[in-house]
């Protein structure tokens, strides 16, 4: 059996052992009886494994090995080998080579190191709520002058957000720098809209004013929550959805912002955002003692105590009628133009 086993790889051996059936028989003190001397134990193999690819043929049905006299055992093991088919095509898929790219990555302290990225890295960034940005050489010079930042409205523009591997390959240049930042938004689009808001002329907001949206998520689960929502929707034209989960929030010293994002805007989206703000103002006036939403109410109360701005972001510029409808409800609309978002007056 040894020549056969030595010819098998570890993978073949595992498959061989997994299909083994062993039956052991213990004799009753046969070694002490002169008529029943110590018996050898043997291994017999069943199955024509020589016909299957990956195995060498062998013909050794039994391999006798004398058991120690102190262990009067007759062990009979039968190995039944099932046919093994190697799916070389599927196995080759496991060794697919990843696409890689060496980039100059800038950390939070401004240090730049070379890092090798592969084409699946953006899945990890999304899972960790990180934003990957490209910094052009011109922007690098400005960041050195302004302590790692680019002032709003600067001609060099802000670092561009990269969403996918194909986009990175298209934009990559050896002299570019890249950076990873915490997103603090529900998605990359909402992050880009908030960046555009902060860079608008006269904006009271900076990117450091962003809050984590999940900390302000309100789900109407209990009967009391459902009753409060139903009562509000019955008397108001601007309705509140089943869950209040904003795409972005910002809180500056003297102003706050509620941000929602949609690929295509509709009047219902305008109504939802306006209704959400109005509902939260009424909801926060209720007593917080013993309320399971106490911490959430305190957070929204802090936001709404300042001058609150409402923003809608979209990938497609809406028509004039919808823009006027949003403006009538004091909602600012930012639409995507090229690779950035801009305010649509």
At 14 the pLDDT is 56
Any idea of the CA torsion for 218, 222, 224, 229, to the nearest 10 degrees?
Answer: 50
Where b means 16+ CB within 10 Å and e means fewer, 65-93 reads eebeeeebebbeeebebeeeeeeeeeeee
In this structure, of 66-75, 252-261, 321-330, the range with the lowest mean pLDDT score is: 66-75
* Cβ pair 194, 210 in contact under 8 A: yes
- Non-local (6+) Cβ contacts of 264 within 8 A are 314, 315, 316
160 versus 71: the higher-pLDDT residue is 160
Measured CA to CA, the distance from residue 11 to residue 54 in angstroms comes to 11
At 9 the pLDDT is 54
In this structure, what are the phi and psi dihedrals at residue 236, rounded to the nearest 5 degrees? -120, 145
Positive or negative CA dihedral for 272, 276, 277, 282?
A: positive
SS3 48: coil
What is the bridge-based pairing of β-strands 307-314 and 331-337? parallel
Measured CA to CA, the distance from residue 23 to residue 33 in angstroms comes to 24
- Non-local (6+) Cβ contacts of 32 within 8 A are 72
At 96 the pLDDT is 59
- SS3 string, 135-189, reads ECHHHHHHHHHCCCCCCCCCCCCCCEEECCHHHHHHHCCCCCEEEEEECCCCCHH
Terminal C-alpha separation, the chain = 84
Residue 266 pLDDT > 50, yes or no?
yes
Measured CA to CA, the distance from residue 9 to residue 73 in angstroms comes to 31
Measured CA to CA, the distance from residue 114 to residue 112 in angstroms comes to 7
Give 180-204 pLDDT, tens digit per residue.
999 999 999 999 999 999 999 999 9
Confidence of residue 80 (pLDDT cuts 50, 70, 90): low
Measured CA to CA, the distance from residue 262 to residue 56 in angstroms comes to 63
SS3 287: coil
Q: Which CATH class is domain 100-182?
A: alpha beta
At 256 the pLDDT is 98
Share of the chain above pLDDT 90, in %: 63
pTM over 0.75: no
Confidence of residue 209 (pLDDT cuts 50, 70, 90): very high
Where do the structural domains in the chain lie, given as residue ranges? 2-89, 100-182, 199-345
Question: If we measure between CA atoms, which residue out of 256, 233, 247, 236 comes closest to residue 302?
Answer: 256
Check residue 64 and give left, alpha or beta (phi > 0: left; psi -120 to 50: alpha): beta
Residue with tokens 């802090």: 302
Averaged pLDDT of the chain: 81
């Amino acid at each position: 059996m040894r020549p056969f086993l030595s010819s098998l790889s570890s993978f073949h051996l595992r498959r061989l052992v997994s299909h083994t059936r062993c039956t052991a028989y213990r004799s009753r003190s046969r070694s002490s009886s002169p008529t029943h001397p110590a018996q050898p134990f043997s291994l017999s193999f069943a199955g024509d494994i020589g016909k299957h690819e990956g195995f060498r043929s062998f013909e050794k049905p039994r391999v006798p090995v004398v058991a120690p006299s102190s262990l009067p055992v007759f062990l009979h093991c039968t190995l039944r080998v099932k046919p093994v088919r190697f799916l070389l095509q599927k196995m080759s898929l496991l060794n697919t080579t990843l696409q890689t790219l060496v980039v100059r990555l800038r950390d939070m302290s401004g240090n730049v190191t070379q890092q090798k990225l592969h084409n699946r890295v953006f899945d990890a960034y999304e899972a960790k709520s990180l934003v990957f940005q490209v910094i052009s050489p011109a922007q690098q010079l400005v960041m050195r002058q302004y302590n790692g930042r680019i002032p709003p409205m600067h001609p060099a523009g802000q670092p561009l957000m990269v969403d996918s591997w194909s986009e990175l390959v298209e934009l990559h240049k050896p002299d570019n720098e890249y950076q990873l930042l915490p997103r603090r938004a529900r998605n990359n689009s909402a992050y880009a809209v908030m960046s555009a808001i902060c860079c608008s002329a006269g904006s009271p907001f900076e990117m450091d004013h962003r809050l984590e949206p999940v900390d302000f998520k309100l789900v109407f689960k209990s009967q009391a929550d459902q009753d409060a929502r139903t009562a509000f929707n019955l008397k108001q034209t601007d309705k509140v959805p089943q869950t209040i989960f904003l795409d972005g929030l910002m809180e500056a010293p003297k102003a706050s912002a509620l941000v929602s994002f949609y690929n295509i805007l509709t009047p219902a989206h305008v109504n939802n955002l306006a209704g959400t703000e109005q509902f939260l103002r009424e909801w926060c006036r209720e007593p917080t003692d013993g309320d399971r939403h106490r911490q959430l109410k305190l957070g929204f109360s802090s936001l709404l105590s300042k001058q609150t701005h409402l923003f809608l972001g979209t990938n497609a510029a809406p028509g004039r009628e919808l823009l006027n409808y949003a403006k009538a409800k004091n909602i600012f609309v930012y639409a995507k133009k090229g690779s950035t978002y801009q305010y649509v007056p």
